[in-house]
């Protein structure tokens, strides 16, 4: 069982993504709870969207209002839980995370090689109008999965899906693995600017480029040449941070002799943020990447020159 809480700053984006999948025949309406009507799926998509919009209009201060979860059972999990069990455990998951009384919609997806489910809700409490606390969500999900495995005697008799962040001209499941990369980078709060985010993407040979009014995601070789057909950002469910709205992508200019702004930000937080270790862990064969070694060497030089709480480039 794999459960992912996606970075959904906009409830509308998460909602209309799933609605579009349903319209395309790649998803079906599956389950709902705590909605004004007993079956919201018999009405229009605008009617369903208003369920969340009316709640969120009461609190315009909160930026990240959307809750978007993917519930990914293995084939063995599907058989053991059954349809009734899946609906029950979707409800239990929402209770575990503190959203048991919130309206939420569930979509059943079959657009890849396995069935999975998407939950859409809002982080704004429908009664108080305040944001529901989202502390320790990862720990709560892990506890839920452990209890689920014990209750239904789920076995790990299928190989666990590994996140593949090595992108080549022949990589399989490219779109899904790119979303996995975006999800990992999106959760790293120390990445505070678009250039810094793009610099991190380049470590994986991924670039985002503006084409006319939109943006495309490219897989490149070590020289930055595209090696696969690009994918529109609008096609991704988990989108890279700093690209939620339209706008021109900032260009990165790297200079081997000195740190650019994005590299300076990386050095500034090197010694103060454990999250950078997560980024290094995700980089495939990072020890062989000369560009990353240069960054690391630059960081060491900066740390040696730390004076009076300020950092100076070497």
Instruction: Note down the domain range covering 280.
Output: 174-304
Say yes or no: 142 and 184 in one domain: no
Say yes or no: 50 and 189 in one domain: no
Q: Where residue 111 sits, what CATH number does that domain have?
A: 3.30.930.30
Residue given tokens 């969340």 in the structure block:
52
pLDDT category of residue 306 using cuts at 50, 70 and 90: very low
Q: Per the domain annotation, does 291 fall within a domain?
A: yes
- Specify the pLDDT at position 272: 38
Q: Per the domain annotation, does 167 fall within a domain?
A: no
Q: Per the domain annotation, does 94 fall within a domain?
A: yes
Say yes or no: 19 and 142 in one domain: yes
Say yes or no: 141 and 178 in one domain: no
- Specify the pLDDT at position 269: 44
Q: What is the pTM of this model?
A: 0.56
The Cα 116–Cα 112 span in angstroms is 9
Say yes or no: 145 and 248 in one domain: no
Residue 302 pLDDT exceeds 70: no
Say yes or no: 274 and 196 in one domain: yes
Structure tokens at 310: 């300020």
Q: Per the domain annotation, does 107 fall within a domain?
A: yes
Q: Per the domain annotation, does 161 fall within a domain?
A: no
Mean pLDDT of 132-148: 93
Q: Per the domain annotation, does 162 fall within a domain?
A: no
Residues 8-32: pLDDT tens digits? Answer: 678 999 999 999 999 988 899 999 9
Q: Mind spelling out the 3-state secondary structure of 139-174? A: HHHHHHHHHHHHHHCCCCCCCCCCCCCCCCCCCCCH
Residues 215-264: pLDDT tens digits? Answer: 999 999 878 899 999 999 988 888 888 886 543 333 333 333 333 444 44
Say yes or no: 148 and 181 in one domain: no
Say yes or no: 123 and 220 in one domain: no
Q: Per the domain annotation, does 230 fall within a domain?
A: yes
Domain count, the chain: 2
Residue 48 contacts residue 40 (beta carbons within 8 Å) = yes
Say yes or no: 98 and 197 in one domain: no
Say yes or no: 120 and 212 in one domain: no
Say yes or no: 139 and 86 in one domain: yes
**Number of Cα atoms under 13 Å in the Cβ half of residue 129:** 6
Q: Per the domain annotation, does 310 fall within a domain?
A: no
Question: Which of 40-44, 208-212, 257-261 has maximum average pLDDT?
Answer: 40-44
- CA torsion 121→127→129→133, rounded to 10°? -60
């Amino acid at each position: 069982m794999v459960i992912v809480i996606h970075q959904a700053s906009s409830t509308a984006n998460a909602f209309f993504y799933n609605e579009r999948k349903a319209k395309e025949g790649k998803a079906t309406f599956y389950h709902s709870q705590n909605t004004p009507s007993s079956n919201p799926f018999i009405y229009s998509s605008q009617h369903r969207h208003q369920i969340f919009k009316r709640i969120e209009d009461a609190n315009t201060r909160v930026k990240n209002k959307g809750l978007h979860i993917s519930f990914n059972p293995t084939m063995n999990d599907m058989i053991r839980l059954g349809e009734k069990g899946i609906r029950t455990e979707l409800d239990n998951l929402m209770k575990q995370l503190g959203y048991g009384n919130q309206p939420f919609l569930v979509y059943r997806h079959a657009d890849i090689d396995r069935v999975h489910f998407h939950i859409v809700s809002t982080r704004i409490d429908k009664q108080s109008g305040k944001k529901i606390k989202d502390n320790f969500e990862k720990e709560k999900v892990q506890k839920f999965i452990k209890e689920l495995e014990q209750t239904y005697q789920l076995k790990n008799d299928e190989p666990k899906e590994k996140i593949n962040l090595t992108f080549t001209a022949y990589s399989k499941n490219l779109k899904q693995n790119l979303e996995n990369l975006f999800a990992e980078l999106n959760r790293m709060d120390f990445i505070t600017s678009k250039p810094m985010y793009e610099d991190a993407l380049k470590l994986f040979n991924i670039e985002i480029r503006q084409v006319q009014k939109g943006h495309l995601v490219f897989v490149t070789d070590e020289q930055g040449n595209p090696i696969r057909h690009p994918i529109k950002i609008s096609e991704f469910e988990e989108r890279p941070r700093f690209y939620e709205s339209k706008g021109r992508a900032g260009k990165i200019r790297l200079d081997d002799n000195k740190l650019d702004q994005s590299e300076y930000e990386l050095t500034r937080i090197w010694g103060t943020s454990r999250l950078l270790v997560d980024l290094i862990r995700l980089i495939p064969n990072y020890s062989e990447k000369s560009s990353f070694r240069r960054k690391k060497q630059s960081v060491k030089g900066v740390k040696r020159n730390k004076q009076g709480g300020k950092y100076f480039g070497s």
